[in-house]
Chains A and B, each alone.
Chain A
């Protein structure tokens, strides 16, 4: 790179040797780290692919010890929970993020405090969020419900959307805002038609990434949506979800259940990686075209 190994190198040998030792160990450690992560990825893909069959989407979870069956109720349950989370999390996160991105500059202290609290919420342990949703919706109503699970997921989603909305709005150039306002548009219409529009791709990316994170969340669902061996779409009843079923089946001693768990993990991982790639692609397109 900078001719370190050349014969005319004036650097003392001790420094050159230290450099080579450190850089080699960095490379080896990188290989080690990547090895572990790739190991996980490959086993899940391999075992999941082996257990994969169309029945996965056509049949419901089987009773213990029974071969066959699928994960239909778990997929449907997960999609429903995601829909509830999306329906609550997107508007709340978008509006709160809009305040941070558009109005907080008039209240810098309040803005800093809200950002700080939101960032803490963003990384708060998801099991604690689950406990909170339990005290909010399960304990008072005295039964587990899909709604409580959806709310728990929404609570995890909101800080992600708030943060991306805030960051994306702050990237919108002020000249754009001033141009619109100079034409006589009320400030709020400028936000809706100019700022949101300019930031839409970034915000969408954030929502996709939040969805990717939500679809693997297990802990907040354990005592809110609980689990169910049956096909159900009722919001006021316990509902099966993919991560919780994977948890239940992988921990069980039955090989048939473990097989289904691998298949479920495979589908979840493909879904999440696809969402991640889609988000990245949107982001890349956004930066190159504007």
Chain B
């Protein structure tokens, strides 16, 4: 869009106003100003990466890549390994995803296909508003309300799932109420409104003509969801789930309250553990030695890289639907 700019104050310049402009009207400066800020925003991500790499350098010099799979974390002895926290982060997020995905899918289907019209908008608005509740409220609720309740339910879990050979040990343990499983459940509740509102938005993008054609051919509602809506929106649905995963991986407050905060890999999901975010939140201000602080920053770097990959994948998957919505073939 090139703009031929003519000077505004014609009276001062007499009949020459239609000649090529002689003075800068500010367009270039404005474009440069906004462009500069856009550059700053884009550079922030790299600045974060560089800052974390530089600040965690003592760790990589001392331990090398072994830091990533060493499972000992002892601030007094000066030994640091990231494995317990990577394990805790991945496991609690995986639990959250396994629990939240089917429920979010159901809510999205309910809102886009099943719900009576009068309920649709209020329910959708409520769920979107709930997605804005701060994670600290989830954490606090998890510790003070849910954990005591869950502790009574855990023996049931040990007696049923705990008896399955092989994976049974994961579900056996003292009924503490806090631990990896509790963290996973609370994370699931937290990302639930988030994933379901994305899925609902995506489902609504399915062209009505496609769905109506399927109904006209005698398809049932489930068949329309399963064979029309889902195939059309598949990549965006997965993208939405990945966005939820990105949130769960990086979540601090909801997890720190209830994961138990021990620096080793627990053999059971019912036992306390720690995630990358929770150990940073707990230990960073108390880290006395240079190496301890650098190790926590190195954990931050690991978390940043993991979430970057997950979020980039999410973004690419969601982009494909943007293309569809604009009418380009997949």
Contacts and interface: CB of A to CB of B under 8 A. Distances in A.
A268 B134 contact: yes
Contacts of A33: 103-104, 106-107, 192, 196
B109 A131 contact: no
A1 to B, nearest CB: 7
Given A29-B102, A125-B249, A158-B41, A105 B1 contact: yes
Interface stretch (B47-55, B153-161, B266-274): B47-55
Interface string B125-142: 101111011111111110
B34 A132 contact: no
Contacts of A250: 136, 139-140, 143-144, 257
A127 B41 contact: no
Nearest to B33: A95
Contacts of B63: none
Contact of A186 (B26, B42, B135, B145): B26
Given A19-B222, A117-B42, A132-B52, A44 B253 contact: no
Residue of B127, B253, B256 with most partner-chain A CB within 10 A: B253
Given A15-B220, A226-B285, A121 B41 contact: yes
B176 interface: no
B107 A186 contact: no
Nearest to A188: B30
A131 B215 contact: no
Interface string B275-289: 001001100110000
Contact of B284 (A4, A223, A258): A223
Residue of B128, B129, B143, B223 with most partner-chain A CB within 10 A: B129
Contacts of B40: 92, 96
Interface in A237-263: 243, 246-247, 250-251, 258, 261-262
Interface string A139-177: 100000000000000010011001000000000001001
Given A99-B35, A187-B30, A276-B129, A128 B134 contact: no
Contact of B129 (A10, A102, A273): A273
Q: How would you classify the secondary structure of chain B's contact residues: helix, strand, loop or mixed?
A: helix
Nearest to A111: B38
Nearest to A192: B30
A25 B222 CA distance: 11
B277 A269 contact: no
A272 B52 contact: no
A23 B31 contact: no
Contacts of B37: 92, 95-96, 99
Interface string A1-29: 11010000011000110110011011111
B65 to A, nearest CB: 20
A105 B1 CA distance: 8
A29 B300 contact: no
Contact of B137 (A28, A188, A265): A265
Contact of B41 (A34, A43, A92): A92
B308 interface: yes
Given A18-B220, A117-B42, A223 B315 contact: no
Contacts of B140: 44, 246, 250, 261-262, 265
Interface residues of B, number: 93
A37 interface: yes
Given A29-B102, A44-B137, A95-B33, A19 B223 contact: yes
A43 B300 CA distance: 33
Contact of B52 (A131, A177, A276): A131
Nearest to B140: A250
B252 A125 contact: yes
A218 to B, nearest CB: 5
A123 interface: yes
B34 A120 contact: no
A99 B220 contact: no
A22 B222 contact: yes
A125 B307 contact: yes
Interface in B4-40: 5-6, 8, 25-27, 29-31, 33-35, 37-40
B220 A30 contact: no
A18 to B, nearest CB: 6
25 contacts: A19-B223, A26-B110, A29-B102, A44-B141, A96-B40, A102-B34, A118-B41, A120-B312, A125-B251, A125-B252, A125-B307, A128-B48, A129-B48, A131-B280, A132-B51, A159-B41, A187-B30, A188-B26, A189-B26, A215-B134, A218-B253, A222-B281, A250-B136, A250-B139, A250-B257
Given A186-B25, A276-B132, 7 more contacts: A27-B110, A30-B111, A95-B37, A123-B314, A135-B55, A187-B27, A251-B143
